[in-house]
Structure 1
Amino acid sequence: MKESSLVAVVVVGALALGGGTIATQLSARAEQEAQAPPPVCTVLDRSELAPGSGALYGVNLDWEDKPLADYADRLGHRPAVSVSFTGFPYDERGHDYLRMAADQVRADGQMLLLTLEPQGGLEKVTDEAVQALAADLAEINDSGVPVIVRFAHEMNGSWYAWGQQPTAYVEAYRRVAEAVHEQAPGSAMMWAPNYGGGYPFAGGEHEAEPGTADFAALDTDGNGELTMADDAYAPYYPGDDAVDWVGMSLYHWGDQHPWGENEVPEPGKFAAQLTGTYDGAGGDDRAVPDFYAEYGERRGKPVAIPETAALYNPAAGGADELAIKQAWWGQVFDPSIPQDFPQLKLISWFEWDKHEVEIDGPVDWTTTNTAAVREAFTADLPDWLRWGPEESCTAPGA
């Protein structure tokens, strides 16, 4: 029952008793209850972040263009998880941005997924920066906002300054994990490589060079070459003690290079990519390891899809926007997902309309910008998704 309706019912009931004084008292009490402050946020431990059943619904937003409150209003739900990106180590501006994100999550969401990007290289991940991060996370946790830290994602790619450096990456990740685990009990660590189709992603600025120790570590079959036959994930894994969640971004870019055409995704593509059985993108990806079986089932880690969406290029012809996106979210949110992938605990939609260098053009990844797509998306959202609370909470002690 809405609060305004509650006030009306109490007042009418009191007047029916014929006691003006009683009516006044009950009306005042109802008004006080209607204006009561929001509940205090529950401070969670990292062990409590994964739901017992179903999956948390998350979103990647351009926070400045589309605040979380606006997105929640369009969607009709508060997301359980909201994704934020920041360089690491971060400066004062980055520190303020982190607090802004936490404040938005506290008001209109539940949990923050913080993606840290060491854009200056792994050597910039100093002990001082790590300790400052852990202290900030502890304060954010104490304010009622749990955090999942996705440190240096897509480290198996060749396009980031931290890419294809397994020894340095594992060392840096473990230092971050140790500090977070010791100082911020409401924060968890996520390890999130890039989907291995196309590995070893030759031609990137940071690809491993033959003759180096990194190249040797990545040559898992020992044949002196890096090919798709080498394990795209295992050399970068920091260890079960350092990893709380595992994640993998899975997009529908198209069925083959070059990207940029508007194409409806093939049936079963999402599940096939997650399990290493996808045969597409212009080649056979079935040499890719089964990510879900190895890291979700065998190692028992909650699995996340921290980014997903389907490419729609408004500057190109081809398939219709709704047909493309609905075919993809129909796979991502299929009724069979909880039964087939019970370790899948978080799915986050990439809600951006942006220029993508891969096609040198615009891509609209969103589901809420146009009425027709938004109505179809919200109608198709399954009941096994887990959402944020229906009302805002306040920081403990505020």
Structure 2
Amino acid sequence: MTPNLPSDPTRRQLLAGGAATALALALPLGACAGGGSGAPNAEDVLSLPVRVDTNTSAQQGVFFGLFKEAALTEVVADCQNDYRIKPASAMWFTRFGSPFPESAIRYLAQQGIAAQVTWEPWAERNEAIPLADIVAGKWDAYLAEYGAAAAALDLPFMLRWGHEFNGDWYPWCTVRQGQSTDLYVKAYRRVVERMRAAGARKVQWVWCFNNESTPAGAWNAPKLAWPGDDVVDWVGIDGYNFGTSQSWSRWTPFRDVFGNALAAAADIAPRKPVILAEMASSENGGDKAAWITQMFADLATLPQVRAFTWFDLMKETSWAITSSEAAWAAMAKGLRGDYIRGNGAALLSIASPR
């Protein structure tokens, strides 16, 4: 999903409406700074120490990442201020053809946070880039330049190219390629191979499909677009609970959003770690706070899922964590679970790029 300009409520607006009190009531007694036997108040909640994960082991846990349409400095600060945790990763979108984001990756690395770059095959004026042009080598010079810059930076980061290819909303989708995955697979492989040839050996490649194929024909199964174990480090899945916000959607629990897709990922690449590369829930049609609470319980039972990235903005519907006081409370509480991780270096040690 590519973001548009959001009207995202801020922590400051929510506090004026009492969200901090809601969060305080959602946390167990004694969880607030200073402990005590009385009911926690807003000041106690906001003075909770920011949770910083110093454990460098990647053996256990699910790593929390965030996408917000804001400067990375603001994303990092807001995550700690609003949700009282330092994230393991931060994600943003950039078009194919844009300069290598050296400063952004370096900044996050200095903060101990992994960079997740979503690299979309849009050209300079947001026109579609034909996959055939990539396969034919017309973008090789750009890939060599980008790869050389990544090699010079010499820092690991996650790179998600051509995501949600099994939908019908992007020009690189299977449905736009004559219902054939051939060009997508060849383009994906060429992007990776040209980057590696330029020395970019620390890039962690994320191959990412949508949780449901649209259209749902057998020809659009993600497995048919698998580019190979040698060019993929992470299997990514995007999935959302749209609730009743759309004419075609219904309220869907977290496990149902991702259940079939996780089974597909296990069939396609059983040895690859999975990242829920984009995910969120609407407020429409159900209890978003309860959805979030159950999400955390479910994540603890899904060992193949090693990371998730919340799409924290208002777009098609109320994806933002701060869409309601109750949702904000449930997220802040869930992020204090022992199995939720916030160490970027540990996250980047899960996969071993070639």
User: Shorter chain as normaliser: what TM range?
Assistant: 0.5 to 0.7
| Matched position secondary structure for 2:275 | strand
Q: Among 70, 77, 82, which residue is 1:74 paired with?
A: 82
Q: Verify: 1:55 aligned to 2:16, yes or no.
A: no
What TM-score, normalized by structure 1, do the two folds share? 0.61
- Tell me the equivalent position of 2:299: 337
Name the CA shift for 1:267/1:80 in 2 (closer, same or farther; >3 Å): closer
Name the CA shift for 1:371/1:105 in 2 (closer, same or farther; >3 Å): farther
| Matched position secondary structure for 2:308 | strand
- Tell me the equivalent position of 2:341: 386
Report the Cα offset of residue 87 of structure 1: 0.6
Matches within 5 A, 1:306-345: 306-312=277-283, 319=286, 323-324=287-288, 326-334=289-297, 336-339=298-301, 341-345=302-306
Q: Verify: 1:117 aligned to 2:120, yes or no.
A: yes
Letter in 2 for 1:378: A
- Tell me the equivalent position of 1:248: 237
What is the CA deviation profile of residues 57-111 of structure 1, one whole-angstrom value per residue up to 9, with x for unaligned ones?
1111112495322223212112111111111021xxx54xx23432442344511
Structure 1: stretches of 5+ with no match in the other structure: 1-48, 201-226, 276-289, 357-362, 391-398
Q: Verify: 1:174 aligned to 2:178, yes or no.
A: no
Cα distance in 1 between the residues matched to 2:291 and 2:142: 39
Q: Verify: 1:148 aligned to 2:158, yes or no.
A: yes
- Residues 282 and 319, structure 2, Cα contact 8 Å, conserved in 1: yes
| Matched position secondary structure for 1:129 | helix
- Structure 1 stretch displaced more, 172-181 or 152-161: 172-181
If you compute each CA radius of gyration, which structure gives the higher value, 1 or 2? 1
Name the CA shift for 1:295/1:55 in 2 (closer, same or farther; >3 Å): farther
- Residues 253 and 259, structure 1, Cα contact 8 Å, conserved in 2: no
- Residues 167 and 214, structure 2, Cα contact 8 Å, conserved in 1: no
| Matched position secondary structure for 2:240 | coil
- Structure 1 stretch displaced more, 79-88 or 379-388: 379-388
Cα distance in 2 between the residues matched to 1:55 and 1:304: 9
- Tell me the equivalent position of 2:149: 136
Cα distance in 2 between the residues matched to 1:295 and 1:51: 23
Letter in 2 for 1:77: I
CA-atom RMSD in angstroms? 2.9
Name the CA shift for 1:160/1:245 in 2 (closer, same or farther; >3 Å): same
Name the CA shift for 1:199/1:132 in 2 (closer, same or farther; >3 Å): same
- Residues 290 and 330, structure 2, Cα contact 8 Å, conserved in 1: no
Name the CA shift for 1:385/1:252 in 2 (closer, same or farther; >3 Å): same
Name the CA shift for 1:372/1:234 in 2 (closer, same or farther; >3 Å): closer
- Tell me the equivalent position of 1:220: none
Cα distance in 1 between the residues matched to 2:333 and 2:146: 39
| Matched position secondary structure for 1:312 | coil
Cα distance in 2 between the residues matched to 1:369 and 1:153: 26
- Residues 130 and 175, structure 1, Cα contact 8 Å, conserved in 2: no
Matches within 5 A, 1:1-398: 51-64=58-71, 66-90=74-98, 94-95=99-100, 98-119=101-122, 120-121=128-129, 122-125=131-134, 126-140=139-153, 142=154, 145-164=155-174, 165=177, 166-182=181-197, 183-200=199-216, 227=217, 229-230=218-219, 232-254=221-243, 258-259=247-248, 264-266=251-253, 268-275=255-262, 290-297=263-270, 300-312=271-283, 319=286, 323-324=287-288, 326-334=289-297, 336-339=298-301, 341-354=302-315, 356=316, 363-368=317-322, 371-381=325-335, 382-388=337-343
Name the CA shift for 1:115/1:130 in 2 (closer, same or farther; >3 Å): same
Q: Sequence identity of aligned pairs in percent?
A: 29
What is the CA deviation profile of residues 144-174 of structure 1, one whole-angstrom value per residue up to 9, with x for unaligned ones?
x421111100112222111113222111111
Letter in 2 for 1:272: G
Letter in 2 for 1:234: K
What TM-score, normalized by structure 2, do the two folds share? 0.68
Name the CA shift for 1:338/1:178 in 2 (closer, same or farther; >3 Å): farther
Letter in 2 for 1:311: S
Report the Cα offset of residue 271 of structure 1: 4.6
Name the CA shift for 1:250/1:74 in 2 (closer, same or farther; >3 Å): same
How many correspondences in the alignment?
A: 272
Cα distance in 1 between the residues matched to 2:344 and 2:116: 17
Structure 2: stretches of 5+ with no match in the other structure: 1-55, 123-127, 346-354
Letter in 2 for 1:187: V
Cα distance in 2 between the residues matched to 1:255 and 1:50: 40
| Matched position secondary structure for 1:162 | coil
Letter in 1 for 2:187: A
- Structure 1 stretch displaced more, 186-195 or 57-66: 57-66
Cα distance in 2 between the residues matched to 1:129 and 1:243: 21
Cα distance in 1 between the residues matched to 2:247 and 2:232: 35
Cα distance in 2 between the residues matched to 1:76 and 1:374: 11
Letter in 2 for 1:173: Y
